[in-house]
Amino acid sequence: MQNAWHIFSDFDGTVAQQDVGAQLFIQYGDASRCMDAVNEWMAGNISSCEMYHRECLTAEITPTELRSLAEEQEIDASFFKFYEQCKSSDVDITILSDGFKIYIQNVLREHGLAHLIVKANDIQFVDGNRIRPLFPYSDNNCEHCANCKGFHIRNFKNKNPRVKTIMIGDGYSDRCGVLEADLIFAKDDLRQYCEKNNLHYYPFENFSDVTKICKSLRILT
């Protein structure tokens, strides 16, 4: 029997307390040039593929340094209880990120959550301390995102028409996802996007809020 709901969650700034990808380029790249690339992306002038190509050209980081950066990260403390509630309610979670799988998996592993499904871009190390972005999901007909969350949710719904979907996020890279999801949890920039585009959403600050609302809606037991 299929689950009634499937949860898709952003990682940076949502499950993770900080934007790990942004920290990567601030600490190990040219912060000014990287911010210029981010601003160009947010203005809609370039895709996130192009943004990451520009950022990666400025970065010098070894696998050990990237692993150390990931090990320093904290995740939302209330995510653990939320995850347990989802398990007991037979509701699956998929992490969708337009960031990089390598640091996401390292952070999750550090907190005992390595088994979570992650769909994200990735990084290839070149010459020891240079990085090249990899985009396994870039063939998604999206002009904005390297890893379009709307693409993943749409595919899931086509394969599981009886299962409703939830998107949880905080930022600009989540906007395609919320257009496809049946239920939206939004904070920060994503909340502003939902309000600007008249999308119904539930505001949240952390996963404790998400848990309470999901229980009130009988999504979680």
Chain segment 168-198, per-residue pLDDT in tens = 999 999 999 999 999 999 999 999 999 999 9
Q: Is residue 87 part of a domain?
A: yes
Question: Residue 154 sits in a domain of what CATH number?
Answer: 3.40.50.1000
Q: Is residue 92 part of a domain?
A: yes
* Two tokens, residue 186: 């939004």
For residue 143, give the nearest of 38, 40, 47, 44 by alpha carbon: 47
Domain that holds residue 37: 5-216
Q: Is residue 180 part of a domain?
A: yes
Residue 1 has pLDDT above 50, yes or no: no
Averaged pLDDT for residues 197-201: 98
Q: Is residue 207 part of a domain?
A: yes
Residue 45 has pLDDT above 90, yes or no: yes
* pLDDT 10s digits, 68-107: 999 999 999 999 999 999 999 999 999 999 999 999 999 9
Q: Is residue 176 part of a domain?
A: yes
Find the helix packing angle between 79-88 and 207-216, rounded to 10°: 30
Q: Is residue 179 part of a domain?
A: yes
Q: Is residue 221 part of a domain?
A: no
Phi, psi values for residue 203, rounded to 5°: -75, 150
* pLDDT 10s digits, 106-161: 999 999 999 999 999 999 999 999 999 999 998 878 989 999 999 999 999 999 99
For residue 177, give the nearest of 3, 58, 14 by alpha carbon: 14
Q: Which pLDDT score is estimated for 3?
A: 58
User: In the chain, how many domains are there?
Assistant: 1
Q: Give the chain's radius of gyration (CA, Å).
A: 17
